């Protein structure tokens, strides 16, 4: 296999001169640089991309780290999010690397500076104790969160106002005459779950004659939707589900219990998710394209030296 030493020998220079010619790290005269490039072509020498970019101190690659759990299926909104991050990164001459469906330990390992060919990372759905974020901070890799990080974590993020989202959805149902509510929340260790619970509490804090229940799921699956709703299925109950997949589970649980899920209960999903077109319940739609664009722009700013921590909570949703 041809190495950089072979190129250096052919040109009568030291190895570092070849490296500088290929990476631009230090000045090499145009004549000598061309000689080195010609030698590379003659010897069929292919410089290692990561080695050459790391020599310059950057790779022009940013990472998008999706769910922390490898068991999470690919969600419908991922497409909008990935495309937005991809296109925004491209505008700034950056490439996007997506981490998805990888177990937690593997993700943590790959987010080490000597393992990951990245200049920075966007992390989805933060946990109250998130090893991914801690790893990036320890490695001094710039990071932006989509979602609200845990209290005390001083890091840039962009998020939907989930407190307001749940509060608004619950209030609208109340004005329609609903008095029994069940929030089927996502996993309890996610910060988004805490925000949803807070919005649910605020929706009814000054109202009387309302019955409320909160249940947490182990993951966002139909099976968990069925399980979580089972104990609260009764005529007149309004279920506010964490996402469309969980909502579908509630729908099927109602059918299995002999209830008409379109008349006997109300289902409201806090996300469209993988529910598909023409779903029979109401849902909120988040603008993940906007979230992805904002997060990518903030991250690239940090990579370029912007040290200001930005905490953006938007109302980019439709109820």
pLDDT in tens, 253-303: 999 999 999 999 999 999 876 545 567 888 888 889 999 999 999 999 999
Q: Are 184 and 259 members of one domain?
A: yes
Kindly state the helix (H) or strand (E) to which residue 182 belongs, with its residue range. Answer: strand 180-185
Is 101 in the same domain as 127?
A: yes
Query: Looking at the structure, do residues 278 and 214 belong to the same domain, yes or no?
Result: yes
Joined tokens for residue 3: 């190495």
Q: Are residues 171 and 278 in the same domain?
A: yes
Structure-model confidence comparison of residues 107 and 308, the more confident one? 308
Do the beta carbons of residue 189 and residue 259 sit within 8 Å?
Answer: no
What pLDDT sits at residue 260? 96
Global confidence as pTM: 0.79
Q: Specify whether 156 is located in the same domain as 208.
A: no
Q: Which domain holds residue 156?
A: 61-160+288-318
Give me the pLDDT at residue 274, please: 55
Q: Cα 117 to chain center, whole Å?
A: 19
Token pair in block for residue 16: 């570092």
What CA–CA distance (Å, rounded) separates 249 from 224? 7
Query: What is the CATH classification number for the domain harbouring 245?
Result: 3.40.50.2300
* pLDDT at residue 278 in the model: 64
Average confidence score pLDDT of the chain:
88
Residue with the larger pLDDT of the pair 47 and 82: 82
> What is the rounded distance in angstroms from the CA atom of residue 138 to the CA atom of residue 51?
22
Average pLDDT over residues 149-163: 94
Share of the chain above pLDDT 70, in %: 89
Q: How would you class 263 by CB atoms within 10 Å of its CB: exposed for 0-12, middle for 13-18, buried for 19 or more?
A: exposed
DSSP 243: S
Considering the domain architecture, whether residues 183 and 276 belong to the same structural domain is answered as yes
- Hunting for tokens 């605020």 — which residue is that? 202
Name the maximum alpha-carbon separation found in the chain. Answer: 88
- Same domain, yes or no: 222 and 305: no
Number of domains in the chain: 3
**Euclidean distance between the first and final Cα of the chain, in Å?**
60
pLDDT digits (tens, 9 = 90+) for 80-122: 999 999 999 999 999 999 988 777 778 888 787 666 789 999 9
Query: How far is the C-alpha of 63 from the C-alpha of 146, rounded, in Å?
Result: 13
Same domain for 247 and 195 = yes
Question: Taking Cα atoms as reference points, which of 83, 87, 149 lies closest to residue 287?
Answer: 83
Check whether residue 174 and residue 278 sit in a common domain. yes
Residues 87, 149, single domain; the answer is: yes
Is residue 7 exposed (0-12), middle (13-18) or buried (19+ Cβ within 10 Å)? Answer: buried
Token couple for 206? 């000054």
270 and 297: one domain?
no
The yes-or-no verdict on residue 213 having pLDDT over 90 is: yes
Residue 318's pLDDT band (cuts 50, 70, 90): low
């Amino acid at each position: 296999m041809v190495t950089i030493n072979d190129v250096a020998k052919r040109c009568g220079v030291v190895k570092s001169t070849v490296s500088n010619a290929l990476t631009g790290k230090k000045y090499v005269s145009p004549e000598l640089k061309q000689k080195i490039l010609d030698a590379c072509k003659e010897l069929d020498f292919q410089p290692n991309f990561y080695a050459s970019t790391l020599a310059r101190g950057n790779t022009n690659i940013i990472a998008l780290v999706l769910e922390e759990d490898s068991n999470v299926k690919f969600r419908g909104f991922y497409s909008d999010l990935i495309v937005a991050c991809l296109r925004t990164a491209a505008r700034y001459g950056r490439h996007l690397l997506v981490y998805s469906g990888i177990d937690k330990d593997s993700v943590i390992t790959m987010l080490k500076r000597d393992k990951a060919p990245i200049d920075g990372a966007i992390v989805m759905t933060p946990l109250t104790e998130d090893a991914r974020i801690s790893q990036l901070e320890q490695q001094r890799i710039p990071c932006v969160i989509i979602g609200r990080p845990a209290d005390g974590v001083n890091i840039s993020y962009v998020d939907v106002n989930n407190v307001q989202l749940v509060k608004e959805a619950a209030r609208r149902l109340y004005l329609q005459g609903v008095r029994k509510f069940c929030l089927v929340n996502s996993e309890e260790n996610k910060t988004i779950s805490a925000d949803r619970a807070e919005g649910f509490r605020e929706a009814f804090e000054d109202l009387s004659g309302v019955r409320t229940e909160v249940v947490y799921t182990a993951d966002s699956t139909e099976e968990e939707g069925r399980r979580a709703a089972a104990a609260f299925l009764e005529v007149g109950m309004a279920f506010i589900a964490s996402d469309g997949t969980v909502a579908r589970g509630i729908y099927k649980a109602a059918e299995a219990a002999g209830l008409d899920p379109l008349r006997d209960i109300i289902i409201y999903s806090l996300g469209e998710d993988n529910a598909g077109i023409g779903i029979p319940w109401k849902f909120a739609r988040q603008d993940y394209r906007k979230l992805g664009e904002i997060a990518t722009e903030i991250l690239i700013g940090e990579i370029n030296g912007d040290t200001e921590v930005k905490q953006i909570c938007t109302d980019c949703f439709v109820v």
